[in-house]
């Protein structure tokens, strides 16, 4: 169990810079997720840590060790590849035993270790099958077993569940969390799927299209207090409303043209350097933070009128798309708490939208 620390890592390929300058700390024994859009360079970062690529500059620390120049096979770091990269000429047992055989451990110990881990992964009935005979989920388990059997300090997972269907993916996510809990190995999980990242991570980092880290924090911090409109948009769904910021030092408000003024809280009640009287700003409100009703409801800091444009029924929640007076649209999610809601909201109804000022986030435009 060791931490991974990247210091000023830079990497370019022939067709351009992939990692402009990244410093990142992945704490020891934690489940760390790196979330970013496709092609943003997150896989490159993972390959740099594994040693499959060499950084142009910067340092990689494993705990206190500088491993920047260590060859791949010397690094106590293993990868679970996106397509699993199982050895097709070897059976399940020999795939998992691969690293142990290289260590030249006694046969009896290898057998004992491999059988133990295969049992833990519910693969005991497939020991001598060829890996090509296994289902996607089973191959995934073999890849995991192969990568942890020699007890690496760090396990890198490169979009490991991308090839699985939704149900299986949910199940594997829970298994991964429990596995990490048991092993206490440092996990780095790279994905473009915010659902996966939010589910597994103790800590996560958001990478933007340019290979820069936008924000690092717990999933909750990142979801509730995104630091930029990129993070707000990329993680979860949100409504972005452009406006002008006023009254910053007393009771801050945002003025939106055609809609009026709304009370807001500054993020963590702190005034940021960019905030000036009358400057442009963005208000981000998550759809589930808005309450929708046709009645007048007291005790909300903000309210707004709109017309229902369309309704999408999701099962556990209903999504309303509302057209505001200034012709912008916003989304609202309501939990479907009852079979027969008291208030029926239908297409083209006029509705009131309510939210508390602390549930909106003010961001730099």
- Which is closer to other proteins, CB of 133 or CB of 178? 133
- Residue 239 vs residues 219, 255, 329: alpha-carbon distances, Å: 19, 16, 8
Cα dihedral sign for 87, 89, 94, 100?
Answer: negative
- Which is closer to other proteins, CB of 18 or CB of 285? 18
Q: What are phi and psi of 71, to 5 degrees?
A: -70, 160
Q: How far is CA 359 from the centre of its chain?
A: 21
- Strand 31-35, strand 203-207: pairing: parallel
Residue of the chain from 61, 70, 81, 225 that contacts other proteins (CB under 8 A): 81
DSSP secondary structure letters along 277-334: TT-EEEEEE-GGG-EEESS---S-SEEEEEEEEEEEE-SSEEEEEEEETTS-EEEEEE
CB of 82 to other proteins, least distance (A): 8
- Which is closer to other proteins, CB of 3 or CB of 78? 78
Residues 7-66 that bind other proteins (CB under 8 A): 50-52
Q: Which two tokens stand for residue 75?
A: 């690094």
Element (H, E) at 240: strand 239-246
Alpha helix stretches (DSSP H) within 194-253: 194-200, 219-224, 229-234
Q: What is the DSSP secondary structure assignment for residue 134, as one 8-state letter? A: S
CB of 57 to other proteins, least distance (A): 23
CB of 127 to other proteins, least distance (A): 17
**Total binding residues toward other proteins, as defined by CB under 8 A:** 24
- Which is closer to other proteins, CB of 103 or CB of 346? 103
CB of 88 to other proteins, least distance (A): 6
Residue 105 engages other proteins in binding (rule: CB under 8 A): no
CB of 357 to other proteins, least distance (A): 50
Site string for other proteins, 124-163 (x = CB under 8 A): ----------------------xx--x-------------
Residue 102 engages other proteins in binding (rule: CB under 8 A): yes
Judge whether 351 and 300 are in contact, CB under 8 Å: no
CB of 305 to other proteins, least distance (A): 56
Binding site for other proteins (CB under 8 A): 50-52, 71-74, 77-79, 81, 83, 85, 87-90, 98-99, 102-103, 146-147, 150
């Amino acid at each position: 169990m060791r931490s991974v620390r990247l210091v000023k890592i830079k990497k370019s390929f022939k067709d351009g810079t992939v990692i402009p300058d990244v410093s990142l700390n992945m704490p020891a024994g934690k489940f760390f997720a790196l979330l970013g859009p496709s092609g943003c360079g997150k896989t490159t970062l993972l390959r740099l840590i594994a040693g499959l690529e060499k950084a142009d500059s910067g340092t990689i620390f494993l705990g206190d060790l500088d491993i920047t120049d260590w060859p791949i096979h010397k690094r106590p770091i293993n990868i679970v590849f996106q397509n699993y990269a199982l050895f097709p000429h070897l059976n399940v047992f020999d795939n998992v035993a691969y690293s142990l055989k290289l260590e030249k451990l006694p046969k009896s110990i290898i057998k004992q270790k491999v059988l133990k881990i295969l049992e833990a992964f519910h693969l005991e009935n497939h020991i001598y099958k060829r890996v090509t005979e296994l289902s996607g989920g089973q191959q995934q388990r073999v890849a995991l077993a192969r990568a942890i059997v020699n007890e690496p300090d760090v396990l890198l997972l490169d979009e490991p569940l991308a090839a699985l269907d939704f149900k299986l993916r949910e199940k594997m996510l829970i298994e991964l969390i429990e596995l990490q809990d048991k092993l206490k190995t440092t996990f780095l999980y790279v994905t473009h799927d915010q659902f996966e990242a939010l589910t597994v991570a103790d800590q996560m980092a958001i990478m933007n299209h340019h290979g820069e880290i936008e924000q690092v924090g717990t999933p909750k911090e990142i979801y509730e207090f995104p630091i930029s409109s990129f993070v707000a948009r990329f993680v979860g769904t949100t409504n972005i409303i452009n406006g002008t910021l006023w009254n910053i030092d007393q009771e801050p408000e945002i003025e939106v043209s055609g809609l009026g003024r709304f009370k807001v809280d500054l993020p963590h009640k702190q005034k940021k350097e960019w905030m000036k009287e009358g400057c442009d700003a963005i208000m981000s409100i998550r759809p589930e933070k808005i309450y929708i009703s046709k009645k007048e409801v007291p005790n909300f800091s903000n309210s707004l009128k709109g017309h229902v444009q369309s309704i999408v029924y999701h099962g556990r929640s209903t999504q309303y798309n509302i057209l505001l007076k200034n012709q912008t649209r916003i989304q609202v999610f309501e939990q479907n708490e009852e079979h027969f809601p008291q208030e029926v909201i239908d297409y083209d109804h006029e509705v009131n939208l309510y939210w508390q000022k602390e549930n909106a986030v003010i961001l730099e435009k």
